[in-house]
């Protein structure tokens, strides 16, 4: 049986009507069209406390952090849409990354949830740069925790005007670019893992 890439798609936002949730779903559609199995995750469904070494020492890893690590471990690729907060990534996304980077046992391989994963990143923002500044930080963080980040990325400016009522991008060129990220990730995974 031919290898089918498994991709986890999520946004670094918990807002119900998040532009980045809409954006990552467009990329996920492109990955599915290219033959990948895509799981969409809403971080709102797995709330986490702020990362705290004292909390971890007293109570261990929170159940939702363990669930996130499991999901990450079950997938080869990541589609991540990152809101830009003050020229960087959101606290929600950074907190999730911090919890998932922790070892649950002393013999657990370091960065087991991230090592060897391949990611495509994107952003949508009401601002003129579309979240581009935050993607610089996300790329650096992911690269430092052993994730291969594809060179292609998309930033959608004026996100408050970019999506239709169904959650798709109005501009066909933007939609093609974002779907293309998903297709590219699926293709790279198929070459690497197939």
The one-character DSSP state at 5 is -
Sheet containing strand 37-41, edge to edge, reads: 37-41, 6-11, 77-81, 118-124, 148-156
pLDDT digits (tens, 9 = 90+) for 28-58: 999 999 999 999 999 999 999 999 999 999 9
Domains present along the chain, CATH in parentheses: 6-193 (3.40.50.360)
Q: Taking Cα atoms as reference points, which of 62, 81, 75 lies closest to residue 23?
A: 81
Q: Is the pLDDT of residue 69 over 50?
A: yes
- Find the helix or strand (DSSP H, E) in which 6 lies: strand 6-11
Q: What is the CA radius of gyration of the chain?
A: 16
Q: What is the mean pLDDT of the chain?
A: 96
**For the residues 162-186, what does the mean pLDDT come to?**
97
Which pLDDT belongs to residue 149? 98
Alpha carbon distance 6, 39 (integer Å): 8
Q: Categorize the per-residue pLDDT at 1 as very low, low, confident or very high, splitting at 50, 70 and 90.
A: very low
Alpha carbon distance 131, 87 (integer Å): 8
**For the residues 80-98, what does the mean pLDDT come to?**
97
């Amino acid at each position: 049986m031919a290898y089918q890439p498994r991709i986890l798609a999520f946004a670094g936002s918990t807002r119900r009507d998040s532009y980045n949730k809409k954006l990552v779903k467009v990329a996920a559609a492109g990955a599915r069209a290219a033959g990948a199995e895509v799981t969409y995750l809403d971080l709102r469904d797995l709330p986490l406390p702020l990362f705290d070494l004292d909390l971890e020492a007293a109570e261990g890893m929170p159940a939702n952090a363990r669930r996130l690590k499991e999901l990450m471990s079950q997938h080869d690729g990541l589609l991540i849409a990152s809101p830009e907060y003050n020229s960087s990534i959101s606290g929600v996304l950074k907190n999730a990354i911090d919890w998932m980077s922790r070892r649950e046992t002393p013999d657990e391989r370091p960065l087991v949830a991230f090592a060897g994963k391949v990611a495509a990143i994107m952003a949508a923002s009401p601002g003129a740069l579309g979240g581009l500044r935050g993607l610089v930080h996300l790329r650096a963080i992911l690269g430092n925790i052993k994730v291969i980040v594809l060179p292609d990325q998309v930033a959608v400016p004026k996100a408050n005007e970019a999506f239709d009522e169904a959650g798709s991008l109005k501009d066909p060129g933007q939609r093609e670019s974002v779907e293309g990220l998903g297709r590219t990730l699926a293709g790279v995974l198929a070459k690497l893992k197939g």
